[in-house]
Structure 1
Amino acid sequence: MPSTHLKSVPLVLGVMIVLFAISFDSQANFAGFQVMDGPGWFIGPRAVAHMIGFIGLIMCFWFFFISFAEKTTLRMNLALGSLLPIIGLAYFWGPEFLQEKIGNLHALLALQMTPIYLAACCWVYMMKKLTPRLISPKGALVTAMCGGVGVSLYWELLQQRFINVYGDAPRDYIQFGQILCDLTGIAIGFALVALIVNQLNKRHHQPHPLPA
């Protein structure tokens, strides 16, 4: 399998896993359990959905970073990124069946993610110019992991604790159980992408066949 195709495997898997996590969050219904005493240590369906989602996010983050190293992967990245405003606009100006399928929450999330995505593109472009090692397969893996941890801590320690919780009032406690699930998902995603990076390294160091 060519290296470009191999690099796209985490992207495809990551998108599928994130979509599954969204579906799991809306459909799963089980009691959950306490890791320790206190409301912050409860692990329920949403925490498990977070764990699944972060596996996919790490895969997508990794592809996002390494995509800037090649024109082919960069085109794939930009094509997917262009879907964000399209999803949001389709909800507000598209036909009724699209509005029902997308839903208000997903449309607003896509629109909110658009400027974040554009800012991330500018940031990674600067990384490519200043520290190109960070968009190499190994460097991107570490960067993706750090990005995943940063997203988790921002969401749990700042957004939901002090700003709002999906539009409602902020919580008066930190969901440590959910952070634990986030970090577990990040570790699994890291390990899965590391397998791909290992295969890429093997291909890179294989001797080229001599001409006949």
Structure 2
Amino acid sequence: MAADSAWHYQFRIIMLGDSTVGKSSLLKCYTEGVFLESTSQTVGVDFYVHFLEIKPGLRIKLQLSVTRSYYRNSAGGMLMFDLTNRVSFESIKKWHQEVMETVKPYHVAFVLVGHKSDLEAERKVGQKEAEKLASSLGAKYIETSAKTSQNVKEAFQTLTSVIYEALESGKMRPNEQWDGVKCKLPPEAQPKVQEERRKKKCSC
């Protein structure tokens, strides 16, 4: 892994969902490549850190947390439910609303994750139903399994891409009063954000 200084953007991502959906398992699988057998308690770690390249030459540092106190300073939210537990699916709108009310006026990108896809025989939530909910929340949907590693990398890459797209479109931008996104790129390397700022200054 490269040195901590070798990143261009830092994104904070909050893991959201009921206590039994496997948030810590998914994080451990993604950041350490291991499957956490016991999921009765969340591991007492504030942040997991992972690096990835969103596109060639653009390095992203992810700070991943399950701690509610980080709601306001998160650029992305991974809304998780257990595919074998319908109650956890029905809680998603509550988690989404809770974050939306906390982060105002900042924009947050979401991905909906149906976890424990390896337990297909015990499935209680259909894919089409989950996709419909994701669409209503303006989120993409993906099914994962920390046990088999199915789509684990893809889930985090998808959310990272959605955050980056929000930056490119101007919906989201680094802010000194907000820790959701940090940027080390020089201004000239942020053309779209800079262009939007110039337009606002010129409007009269």
Task: Give the TM-score range, shorter chain.
Answer: 0.3 to 0.5
Larger relative contact order (CA 8 Å, sep ≥ 6): 1
> Of Structure 1 and Structure 2, which has the larger fraction of its residues in strand?
2
TM-score (norm: length of structure 1): 0.31
Bigger Rg, which one = 1
TM-score (norm: length of structure 2): 0.32
